[in-house]
Every structure is written in C-alpha cells, then in structure tokens.
C-alpha cells in the first residue's frame, strides 16, 4: 500500500500518479510561468486525480476545476486580483478545463459572507490550505527551478491514497464538510467518509 511506504517513496508515488493527469501537469507548467508569489496548485484536482488512479478511473474523471492559490498581501484590492485572474485566462485559455486563480491574502474579506463564519487573515498560501474542510484535501504542489516539485502536505498522504476523507474542523463549518463529502461519494463511492467530531463530552454536564 502506497500510504505505508516511507515518505520519500510516497512523494515519488504521488508525482507518478499526478503525472498521469496531463491537464494537471500542463497547469503546473503554465502556472510556474506566471511567477505568482507563494503559489500552489491545490484542492480537488490533486486528491481526486489520486482517487481516480487508485480506483482505475480516467485520471481527469469528475474533476470540476483546477485551483491555483497565490499570496500577495501587498495589494489586497479586487482590481489587483482581477488583473491576475485575467492574465490567467490568457495563460490557460486553450486547456479543456477551468483554472481558478485566487489571492489567499484576500480570503478574510469575503469568507464570512459566503460561509457564515469569520476567517482570520491568512499569513501564507500554506495557511489557507491548512483550513480546508477535510484534512485529506490539505495538499498543494508547485513547480520550482529545475522542474523540482514542491509538495505541501501537512497531514501526510496516507488518507489520500487510502480513500479516507477526514474532517478538519478548524474553520469551515460542518455543513461545508458534509456537503462536499456527499458530492464526492456520488462520484467515488469507494471513499470512507469519517464523521464530523462531536463536541467534547467531557465539557458536558451529566
């Protein structure tokens, strides 16, 4: 089982699996040319590619979009982010997939309106990845000089390869986790979705 291999071997396996998704590798290569600060390709396109390969599906099956995070705290204006988004449309225009680019330094400005809970300002793209609704989703990859892959995986890779969806109750509300999990199960019924944690019973009165 890949999830039981030494970490170096897991990283090699991750690269081999992700490289089977030709759209993903093309997004990585093109995103690198944009020289965005602190950027990562992240979220569903990564772990869902793994799920597809592990379950013998086509590598791109069920992948809604390809998310590129970057972090620019110098200019928090919508105009600055929109300029990057428009530049990205040119870079990725001929790809048969949607590529969504977002400045994670701006997330706290709109998060509460969308999800109903406040979001403290992030300090990096990594901090944004840390707050995904499931720990299984906390994964980012980017290309660096010499074609080196930088992988950010704060919770490791075992759950990703073993098709386990584990809640990450640090920011996103329970409803977001359960909605996403239910949608994923329709596409990948082999998943094991763990329940949202219950409140600490030790804090309850008898």
| Stated pTM of the model | 0.90
Rg of the chain in Å (alpha carbons): 17
Q: Which phi and psi (to 5°) does residue 110 adopt?
A: -130, -10
Instruction: Enumerate helices (H) and strands (E) in the chain, giving the number of each.
Output: 8, 7
Which whole number is the average pLDDT over 152-156? 94
DSSP H or E run through 45: helix 44-54
Q: Is residue 199 part of a domain?
A: no
Number of domains, the chain? 1
Q: Is residue 12 part of a domain?
A: yes
Q: Is residue 205 part of a domain?
A: no
Q: Is residue 203 part of a domain?
A: no
Q: Is residue 148 part of a domain?
A: yes
Q: Is residue 136 part of a domain?
A: yes
Rounded to an integer, what distance in angstroms lies between the CA atom of residue 170 and that of residue 178?
15
User: ∠27-76-70 over CA atoms, to 5°?
Assistant: 20
Q: Is residue 78 part of a domain?
A: yes
Q: Per-residue pLDDT tens for 171-185?
A: 989 999 999 999 999
In whole numbers, what is the pLDDT of the chain averaged over residues?
92
* 123 Cβ neighbours under 8 A, 6+ residues apart: none
Print the domain residue range for 176: 2-194
């Amino acid at each position: 089982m890949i999830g039981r291999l030494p970490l170096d071997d897991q990283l090699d396996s991750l690269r081999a699996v992700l490289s089977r998704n030709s759209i993903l590798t093309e997004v990585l290569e093109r995103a690198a040319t944009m020289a965005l600060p602190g950027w990562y390709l992240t979220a569903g396109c990564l772990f869902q590619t793994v799920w597809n390969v592990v379950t013998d599906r086509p590598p791109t099956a069920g992948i809604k979009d390809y998310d590129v995070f970057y972090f620019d705290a110098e200019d928090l204006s919508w105009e600055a982010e929109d300029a990057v988004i428009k530049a990205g449309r040119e870079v990725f225009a001929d790809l048969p997939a949607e590529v969504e680019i977002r400045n994670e330094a701006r997330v706290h400005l709109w998060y509460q309106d969308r999800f109903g809970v406040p979001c403290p300002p992030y300090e990096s793209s990594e901090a944004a990845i840390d707050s995904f609704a499931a720990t299984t989703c906390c994964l980012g990859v980017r290309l660096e000089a010499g074609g080196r892959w930088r992988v950010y995986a704060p919770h490791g890779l075992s759950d990703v390869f073993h098709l386990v969806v584990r809640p990450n109750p640090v920011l996103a509300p329970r409803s977001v986790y359960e909605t996403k999990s239910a949608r994923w199960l329709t596409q990948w019924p082999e998943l094991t979705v763990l329940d949202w944690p219950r409140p600490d019973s030790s804090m309850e009165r008898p």
